[in-house]
Structure 1
Amino acid sequence: MSTEPKTLAMKFSICSTGLKGMILKEVLEAANRLQLDGVELWDGHITEYLDGGGTTHDLRRLLSEQRLSVPAISTYTSFSQNEAAELQQVQRAARWAKELGCPRIRTFAGHLSSREAPPSLWDSVVSGLSAASAACEQDGVRLVIEMHNNTLADTTDDIAELLNRVGPELELIFDGFNFFVDHQDPLPALDRFYRRIPHVHFKNYQWNHQDWAQSVPVPVLQGDSDHRAILRNLAELEYDGFLSFEYFGDRVLELTQLSLIEVTQELSGGGDDRP
């Protein structure tokens, strides 16, 4: 039996949405110190950098110096409240993505859960996502909606409806924790939509279902959501994309570092034997 360590196919990044108090250069330096492969960039970080006199050429050089790539640019668009302005935001992010060699733009599907949303909201979201997806294609990038509670992409059937109505060019970001908070098993969604999932978010909490504000973020394999099962499923599927750690609060870098250690040990066969 070979004793050679397993090669990790997945790549690892951090969501800069959780580091809004840091300037972009500091975020990139921190990601490099953590030995990550990339940074999922919040579009606000890019805006601040460019407003401060930087260029996308400068940013691409900084990324190269820190040996980092950008698997996604994250916007907070949802196409349910101000479709025209949000389309412009995605178009701008798509131009940046093209210049930075980033393959996709993150968005959300509405601001209400699928069970609460009226047909008019569905129509607005589908129209906005279709226009935004077409705009991204013009710059050679893809639009990805995050699977998220309190949006139209919060159940497997409603995600399927979105994909059917928008078209085959739309992709998904899988976030198992966002199913957990809605008391749903995330694995069926991963299995059902795997071919449309180029990117994954990872976070975990000791979760208080009665008072979400009292929940405590913890390393990804120590929380109430069974992320070990998700990770093993991704490994079995031979997922080789980015797994992006998404934490918020004052322990983002610490939790990312601890989570990276746990995940790499688990994938290398060094995790414990818990089911």
Structure 2
Amino acid sequence: MTGTNSRVGRAGPVPADPPTPPDAGRTRLGLCSVTFRRLRALEVARYAVHAGLEVVEWGADVHAPAEDPDTVRAVREISDRYGLTCCSYGSYFRASPGEPAGFPAVARAAVLLGAERIRVWAGGTGSRYVQPDERHATVLRLREAARIAADHGLTLATEFHGNTLTDTVASTLRLLDEVNAANVHTYWQPPLDVPDEEALAGLTELGDRVAAVHAFSWWPGNTRLPLAERQSLWTAALGLLDGRGIDTLMEFVPGDDPEVLAHEAAVLRQAAGQTLSAQP
């Protein structure tokens, strides 16, 4: 043994594999800025840090519009000042006719934010009702967006949401296969009015196609409950994701009240098996 980090081969020392970061695979907890649309980006950042969160998905609708690069730069400065990482850019690109022409601006905004991922939407029609030609067109537009994103070093992830082509697990998997781009994945969130067991089975089936999770506790319908009301769901979900480094982002807290964020984050942290001191 040489006592070094090199492997010795016949042609001489071979550099060892780079060390694995100590927190590799750890679930990063964060916030979607759309949760507090009425607050300024500075206030969103302050509440996120106070809650012990480390990543943020800045939304394109209010806080970081792609058509306003100066505002996007200002939001990046706020993130850096408060030690928040922008894990994703919450765009509202829906792969509709004409949108691909505007997608380069979305990609540039994501780069300005320091994001690694862009959230996109898979059309505007549910999988049960979409016509074949509309589905095909959406696939082509997502494929083109994926190409543009790759040119900027970015990945895409589709919102797992009703009235889109990712409204069910089966349709999501089909869409990802049809787009057939290595940098395209999906988000996951518990579907409305679906029992915990069924929701978790869907998360399991999506497997490594999941890039990030939106965390909330709604039941029934879109009635916003504290996370603790469905803590067993989130403990199980984060257990399934443990070790995969999946970002889990809080979204739409009860009453849109920023004062409850710290408590909600503590519940999510408990579900993830983390302590506040473990956060960077």
- When normalised by structure 2's length, the TM-score is 0.79
Which amino acid is 1:144 matched to? A
8 Å CA contact 1:109–1:153 kept in 2: the answer is yes
8 Å CA contact 1:221–1:228 kept in 2: the answer is no
Task: Write the distance in 2 (CA, Å) between the matches of 1:60 and 1:218.
Answer: 31
8 Å CA contact 2:50–2:262 kept in 1: the answer is no
Task: List alignment gaps of at least 5 residues for structure 2.
Answer: 1-22, 276-280
Q: Does 1:76 align with 2:92?
A: yes
SS in 2 for 1:189: helix
Partner of 2:240: 233
What is the Cα deviation at residue 136 of structure 1? 0.8
Partner of 2:186: 172
Task: Write the distance in 2 (CA, Å) between the matches of 1:30 and 1:231.
Answer: 23
SS in 2 for 1:70: strand
Task: Write the distance in 1 (CA, Å) between the matches of 2:102 and 2:34.
Answer: 16
Of 130-139 and 258-267, the range deviating more from structure 2: 258-267
Residue-pair matches, total:
249
Q: Does 1:144 align with 2:149?
A: no
Partner of 1:59: 75
8 Å CA contact 1:18–1:249 kept in 2: the answer is no
Equivalent residue in structure 2 for 1:29, among 39, 46, 56: 46
What is the Cα deviation at residue 59 of structure 1? 3.5
Closer/same/farther in 2, CA of residues 221 and 234 from structure 1, 3 Å limit: farther
Task: Write the distance in 1 (CA, Å) between the matches of 2:163 and 2:171.
Answer: 12
Deviation string 1:122-181 (CA, Å, 9 cap, x unpaired) is 112111111111111111101110111221112222112101110132111111x22x43
Closer/same/farther in 2, CA of residues 201 and 252 from structure 1, 3 Å limit: farther
Task: Write the distance in 2 (CA, Å) between the matches of 1:96 and 1:130.
Answer: 19
Closer/same/farther in 2, CA of residues 253 and 124 from structure 1, 3 Å limit: same
Q: Does 1:218 align with 2:220?
A: no
Equivalent residue in structure 1 for 2:56, among 39, 57, 70: 39
Of 99-108 and 25-34, the range deviating more from structure 2: 25-34
Identity %: 22
SS in 1 for 2:122: coil
Max radius of gyration: which structure?
2
Equivalent residue in structure 2 for 1:181, among 180, 193, 197: 193
